[in-house]
């Protein structure tokens, strides 16, 4: 089924897509039919920069277990980083 | 009829006078034909939907599939366009009606048209096919598992649409509905509620819920494909459009 389950948020960072590296400004997270992955439904993430065109996009499609593992790895990694390094205002 | 067809990309005038890209497939011989506006699913104006459009032409119909995401993403690949449209909340209903009305007028203006036009839509396009049939002068409409006709989208989603059950009274043509018994968008309860509303309003319709099928059972390139439901569903579509779109 199409779940339509979608979350959008703004993000700061960079991604590498079909045209090389570009700054990303928007993210869409949704659980729905994939374009390429094999499962019937996947957790999909689009990192986008609409100002640079619709092809300024990094897309991933993960099965639910992989998506959970990735999310836990991201949060776990951030928790282990010394707080002083989590300043997002500088590189 | 020798089954020869022509299929190519065209532009028609859509909502607000905007040019809209579309895929047009038309038989090259045979009697004047009915037209079918194919409304693509949420993943967009993709190869699968163009294949469906050609399928209608192979059966003698003039068929057109408007690229409903053309404004957001002209020239983009279907997956990039669908991503942009999803992030933007999908296609607004008024724009959809204008675009489908423009596509229907474009079909009626073709030399091989018999003047009759129907719509068929899949997934989000199923709801949009119903919406078009309640808003435009059409001769037949098919809703393939369209969600949010009866129910509201879950809270917090960026979708710009809402339920349209109140439009049942405005339905202007016969409606064929094809649904999966295992689907939750729409659920069998929602299908039953729509059925009740259509019955109470005295509308002409035929619904089928296929056991063992879920959402997108017509999609041959997805794991959701259910050949038994799809084959029977296609036969119902040919019978339905044959009755309502054939040359009078």
Domain boundaries along the sequence of chain B: 5-245
Question: What does the angle CA B204 – CA B208 – CA B211 come to, to the nearest 5 degrees?
Answer: 170
Q: Using one digit for the tens of pLDDT, what is the confidence trace for A48-70?
A: 999 999 999 999 999 999 999 99
Q: Using CB atoms, which residue from A40, A57, A59 is nearest to B224?
A: A40
Q: Exposed (0-12), middle (13-18) or buried (19+): which is B151, by Cβ within 10 Å?
A: middle
Query: pLDDT class for A84, splitting at 50, 70, 90?
Result: confident
The reply to whether B123 touches chain A by the CB within 8 Å rule is yes
In this structure, are residues B118 and B139 in contact, taking their beta carbons and an 8 Å threshold?
Answer: yes
Mean residue pLDDT across chain A: 90
The count of CB pairs under 8 A between chains A and B is 75
Query: Is A52 inside any structural domain?
Result: yes
The reply to whether B151 touches chain A by the CB within 8 Å rule is no
Q: What is the reported pLDDT for B155?
A: 77
CA-to-CA distance for A18 and A59, rounded, in angstroms? Answer: 10
**Which SS3 state, helix, strand or coil, does residue B1 take?**
coil
Share of chain A above pLDDT 70, in %: 91
CA-to-CA distance for B111 and B94, rounded, in angstroms? Answer: 29
CA-to-CA distance for B94 and B134, rounded, in angstroms? Answer: 12
Q: What is the reported pLDDT for B89?
A: 87
Q: What is the reported pLDDT for A88?
A: 61
The reply to whether A63 touches chain B by the CB within 8 Å rule is no
Q: What is the reported pLDDT for A90?
A: 47
Closest-CA distance, B96 to chain A, in angstroms, reads 18
Query: What is the 8-class DSSP label of residue B152?
Result: P
Residues of B in contact with A1 (CB under 8 A): 145, 180, 183-185, 214-216, 224
Domain that holds residue A32: 5-82
Residues of B in contact with A26 (CB under 8 A): 87
Q: What is the reported pLDDT for A19?
A: 84
Q: Please report, in tens digits, the pLDDT of each residue of chain B (248 residues total).
A: 678 999 999 999 999 999 999 999 999 988 899 999 999 998 899 999 999 999 999 999 999 999 999 998 999 999 999 999 988 888 999 999 999 999 999 999 999 999 999 999 999 999 999 999 999 999 999 999 999 999 998 777 778 889 999 999 999 999 999 999 999 999 999 999 999 999 999 999 999 999 999 999 999 988 889 999 999 999 999 999 999 998 75
Q: What is the reported pLDDT for A91?
A: 43
Do the chains contact at B87 and A50, CB–CB below 8 Å? yes
Query: What is the 8-class DSSP label of residue B189?
Result: H
The reply to whether B188 touches chain A by the CB within 8 Å rule is no
CA-to-CA distance for B32 and B58, rounded, in angstroms? Answer: 14
Do the chains contact at A2 and B215, CB–CB below 8 Å? yes
| Number of domains within chain A | 1
Paired strand residues for B104: none
Beginning with the edge strand found earlier in the chain, give each strand of the sheet holding B62-66 in spatial order: B5-13, B19-27, B62-66, B33-39, B113-122, B140-144, B175-180, B205-210
B162: tokens are 């809402």
Closest-CA distance, A84 to chain B, in angstroms, reads 34
Please enumerate in sequence order all residues whose Cβ is within 8 A of that of B92, keeping only pairs 6 or more positions apart, or say none.
B160, B161
Closest-CA distance, B38 to chain A, in angstroms, reads 18
Q: Using CB atoms, which residue from A2, A38, A54 is nearest to B42?
A: A2
In this structure, are residues B206 and B177 in contact, taking their beta carbons and an 8 Å threshold?
Answer: yes
**Segment 61-100 of chain B within 8 Å of chain A by CB:** 72-73, 76-77, 79-81, 83-84, 86-87
Do the chains contact at B223 and A38, CB–CB below 8 Å? yes
| Biggest CA pair distance of chain B | 52
Q: What CATH code is assigned to B5-245?
A: 3.40.50.1820
């Amino acid at each position: 089924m199409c779940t339509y389950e979608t979350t959008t948020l703004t993000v700061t960072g960079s991604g590498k897509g079909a045209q090389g590296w570009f700054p990303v400004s928007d993210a869409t997270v949704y659980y729905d039919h994939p374009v390429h992955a094999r499962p019937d439904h996947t957790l999909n993430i689009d990192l986008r920069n609409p100002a640079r065109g619709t092809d300024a996009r990094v897309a991933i499609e993960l099965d639910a277990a992989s998506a959970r593992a990735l999310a836990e790895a991201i949060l776990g990694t951030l928790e282990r980083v010394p707080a002083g390094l989590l300043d997002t205002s500088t590189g | 009829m020798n089954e020869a067809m022509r299929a190519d990309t065209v532009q028609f005038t859509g909502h607000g006078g905007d040019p809209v890209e579309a895929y047009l497939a038309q038989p090259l011989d045979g009697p004047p034909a009915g037209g079918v506006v194919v409304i693509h699913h949420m993943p967009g104006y993709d190869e699968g939907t163009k294949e469906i459009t050609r399928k209608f032409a192979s059966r003698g119909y003039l068929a057109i599939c408007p690229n409903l995401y053309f404004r957001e993403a002209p020239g983009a690949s279907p997956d990039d366009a669908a991503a942009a449209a999803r992030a933007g909340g999908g296609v607004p209903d008024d724009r959809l009606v204008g675009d489908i009305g423009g596509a229907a007028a474009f079909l009626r203006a073709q030399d091989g048209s018999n003047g009759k036009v129907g719509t068929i839509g899949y997934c989000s396009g199923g709801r949009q096919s119903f919406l078009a049939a309640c808003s435009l002068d059409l001769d037949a409409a098919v809703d393939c598992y369209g969600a949010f006709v009866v129910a509201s989208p879950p809270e917090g989603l960026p979708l710009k649409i809402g339920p349209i059950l109140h439009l049942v009274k405005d339905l202007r043509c016969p409606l064929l509905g094809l649904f999966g018994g295992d689907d939750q968008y729409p659920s069998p309860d929602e299908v039953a509620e729509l059925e009740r509303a259509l019955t109470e309003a005295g509308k002409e319709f035929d619904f089928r819920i296929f056991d063992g099928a879920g959402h997108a059972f017509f999609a041959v390139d997805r794991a959701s494909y259910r050949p038994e439901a799809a084959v029977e569903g296609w036969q119902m579509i040919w019978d339905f459009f044959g009755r309502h779109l054939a040359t009078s």
